């Protein structure tokens, strides 16, 4: 049985990348990690947008309406005046999922004390999970994948371990991960027979 196809929205929020001051690194980092982690055939819907709350909210609604079961944003989650990604995300939410943001900050605190300044949120809109991720490619991978010791044993679970089951619960496609990258957790009753 082949894995379900999935449509994933990826959004990079950055004034400077949007205006071409520097090359966007968020979209390639998201695409690379998801391609490595998921066994499912993926169609990506990519957006590079400025730090404008209305533009971010509009992009999120558009991606959900286009059938993206999962939408990941990167950038715009700090305390700076122009950082409005969490507000734009909460504005389109039907449900908040606070555990994702809490876990991202726990992972990042292992590396930098300023992780407490991060304001990532996660929400559900219709049948889509929307996650705000950090802006740095290295931090994106760490928060999604979690932390492993030198032998590859999981020390701190990444947030993506919970994403496939969350998508199941809201009526999305059955996501299957490559366990060596990120082992998805599901209760035994929710695991699909192969």
In a domain, 110, yes or no: yes
In a domain, 1, yes or no: no
User: According to the model, what pLDDT value does residue 85 have?
Assistant: 97
In a domain, 152, yes or no: yes
The answer to whether 93 and 125 are in contact (CB under 8 A) is: yes
pTM score of the predicted model: 0.95
CA 50, CA 161: separation in Å to the nearest integer?
A: 30
User: According to the model, what pLDDT value does residue 1 have?
Assistant: 56
Q: Using CB atoms within 10 Å of the CB of residue 65, give its burial: 0 to 12 exposed, 13 to 18 middle, 19+ buried.
A: exposed
In a domain, 62, yes or no: yes
List Cβ neighbours of 166 (8 Å cut-off, separation of 6 or more): 97, 129
In a domain, 117, yes or no: yes
In a domain, 129, yes or no: yes
Q: b/e for 167-185, b at 16 or more Cβ within 10 A? A: bbeeebbbbbbeeebbebe
In a domain, 68, yes or no: yes
Check which CATH number belongs to the domain holding 116 and give it. 3.40.980.10
The candidate with the shortest Cα–Cα distance to 134, out of 71, 56, 53, 77, is 77
In a domain, 82, yes or no: yes
Residue with tokens 């994403």: 163
Q: Looking at the 3D structure of the chain, how many domains does it have?
A: 1
Alpha carbon of 75 to those of 65, 118, 155, 171: distances in Å?
A: 22, 10, 26, 28
Tens of pLDDT along the chain (194 residues) come to 578 999 999 999 988 888 878 889 999 999 999 999 999 999 999 999 999 999 999 999 999 999 999 999 999 999 999 999 999 999 999 999 999 999 999 999 998 999 999 999 999 999 999 999 998 999 999 999 998 888 878 888 899 999 999 999 999 999 999 998 999 999 999 998 76
Structural domain of residue 119, as residue ranges?
A: 6-190
């Amino acid at each position: 049985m082949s894995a379900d196809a999935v449509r994933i929205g990826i959004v990079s929020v950055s004034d400077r990348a949007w205006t071409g001051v520097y090359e966007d690194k968020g979209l390639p980092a998201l695409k690379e990690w998801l391609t490595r982690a998921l066994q499912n055939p993926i169609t990506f819907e990519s957006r590079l947008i400025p730090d404008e709350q209305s533009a971010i909210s509009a992009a999120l609604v558009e991606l959900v309406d286009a059938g993206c079961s999962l939408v990941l944003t990167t950038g715009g989650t700090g305390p700076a005046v122009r950082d409005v990604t969490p507000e734009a995300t909460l504005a389109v939410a039907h449900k908040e999922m606070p555990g994702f943001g809490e876990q991202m900050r726990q992972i990042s605190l292992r590396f930098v004390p300023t992780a407490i300044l991060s304001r990532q949120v996660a929400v559900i809109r219709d049948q889509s999970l929307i996650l705000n991720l950090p802006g740095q490619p290295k931090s994106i991978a760490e928060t999604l994948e979690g932390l492993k010791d030198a032998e590859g044993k999981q020390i701190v679970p990444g947030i993506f371990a919970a994403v496939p089951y969350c998508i199941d619960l809201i009526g999305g496609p059955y996501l299957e991960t490559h366990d060596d990258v990120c082992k998805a957790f599901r209760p035994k009753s929710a695991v699909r027979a192969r």
